[in-house]
Chain A
Amino acid sequence: MIPYHFSSPESPPNRYSYMQSPYLGQPFLRSYFEVRLGVLRDLVDFGSLKNTDRGGAVLAAKFILDKLTSNTSGEKGPFGKDAPSSSIGFQTLTKEPSRSNYIDTQILITHLNDLLITSRDLSGEIDFEQDIWKLVKQFELFGSLPCYFGIEAPHRERYKIDSDLYFDFAITLCLTFFSSGNFQYISTLLKLHDAILAHGVRMSSLRSYLLTASISFEIQTLRTITASNNVDFSSLDLIINNNEQGA
Chain B
Amino acid sequence: MLNFGLIAADTVRTRAYLSALDKKSFLPRWTLILRSEGQNSKHYSSTSPPVPNLFEETLDNENPDWFNVDFEPDLELDKWFTDRNLEFEVLEDGDINSVEALRKLEKSDLDMFVYSGFAGIIVSAKILNTEKRFLHVHPGLVPEYKGSTVFYYSLLKHQSLGASAIFLNEKIDEGEVITSRHFTVPENLELLDSVLDPAMRSRLLVEALEYLESGGTASKQSKVGSTFYVIHPTLKHAAILGQHAKAKGSKYDSSGGFPKGG
Contact = CB atoms under 8 A, between A and B. Distances in A.
Interface of A: 4, 6, 15, 18-19, 21-26, 28-29, 32, 67-69, 71-74, 76, 81-83, 133, 136-137, 140-141, 177-178, 180-184, 186-188, 190-191, 194, 220-227, 233, 236-237, 240
A137 B239 CA distance: 22
B231 interface: yes
Given A68-B258, A221-B258, A226-B242, A21 B224 contact: no
B235 A71 contact: no
Interface residues of B, number: 46
B156 A227 contact: no
Contact of A183 (B148, B224, B235, B241): B235
Contact of A227 (B225, B235, B252): B252
A136 B232 CA distance: 13
B181 to A, nearest CB: 19
Contacts, number: 143
Contacts of B253: 73, 224
A137 B102 CA distance: 30
Contacts of A137: 229
A226 B245 contact: yes
Interface string B223-261: 111101111111111111110010010111111111111
B236 to A, nearest CB: 7
Given A72-B257, A177-B256, A226-B245, A32 B234 contact: yes
Contact of B258 (A224, A226, A233, A237): A224
B232 A236 contact: no
Given A177-B256, A227-B245, A184 B261 contact: no
Interface of B: 45, 47, 119-120, 144, 148, 153, 156-157, 190-193, 223-226, 228-242, 245, 248, 250-261
24 contacts: A6-B233, A28-B233, A32-B234, A67-B258, A68-B258, A72-B257, A73-B257, A82-B225, A181-B255, A181-B256, A183-B235, A186-B232, A187-B229, A194-B232, A222-B234, A224-B259, A225-B238, A225-B242, A226-B237, A226-B242, A227-B242, A227-B245, A237-B261, A240-B260
Nearest to B225: A83
Contacts of B193: 22-23
Nearest to A17: B233
Contacts of A140: 229-230
